[in-house]
Amino acid sequence: MTITTWYLESHDPADLRPAREPGADLRFSRAEMPSPLLSRFMHGGEVGGDWEGSDGLGLSAEQWREWVDHPGRETWVLYEGDTPAGHAELDAQPDGAVEIAYLGLVPGFLGRGMGGHMLTLALERAWDLAGRWPDREPTRRVWLHTCSLDGEHALANYLARGLRVYEETTEQG
């Protein structure tokens, strides 16, 4: 099987083209206390499981703790009412870069226009991340990657929000 990976980025928050709001009772909340259990749960097939997206399942409890305890890493959860509908994990990196390390919806919430809205919110939070972490440089670049194993609309969603492909790789999987 051939797997294509696209690396996308933005260097200006003004490039963001917000998605329409889906009209549901949604809120996007930061997990104030880093929780390896929350991140593990969201990765454990709830988000991305249908698309081989559960790449963190082999991590030990200590590795999950190290992941969430890293300064400048944030877990954001999209809720519809009181039900988790998806999540995003932001990873502040050197030189003002922020990676959207994970982004995805729980399968029952797919196809309802929430993905573009959640990506919009995640991009906004990536751009203002330094305001929550005073020791961090202001964000100068937001980036992420997706691959041909992800949901069929993932790449189109990223492009529609104003991200640009800066690298593409192909490998046999």
DSSP string across the chain = -EEEEEEEEES-GGG--PPPP-SS-EEEEE-SS--HHHHHHIIIIISSGGGT--TTTT--HHHHHHHHHSTTEEEEEEEETTEEEEEEEEEE-GGGEEEEEEEEE-GGGTTSSHHHHHHHHHHHHHHTGGGT-TTSPPP-EEEEEEETTS-TTHHHHHHHTT-EEEEEEEEE-
Does the pTM of the predicted model rise above 0.75?
A: yes
- For 139-172, what is each residue's pLDDT tens digit? 999 999 999 988 888 999 999 999 999 999 999 9
- For 3-45, what is each residue's pLDDT tens digit? 999 999 999 999 999 999 888 789 999 988 766 667 666 666 4
Taken in order of first residue, the domains within the chain and their CATH numbers are 2-172 (3.40.630.30)
- For 85-98, what is each residue's pLDDT tens digit? 999 999 999 999 99
Asked if pLDDT for residue 52 goes beyond 80, the answer is: no
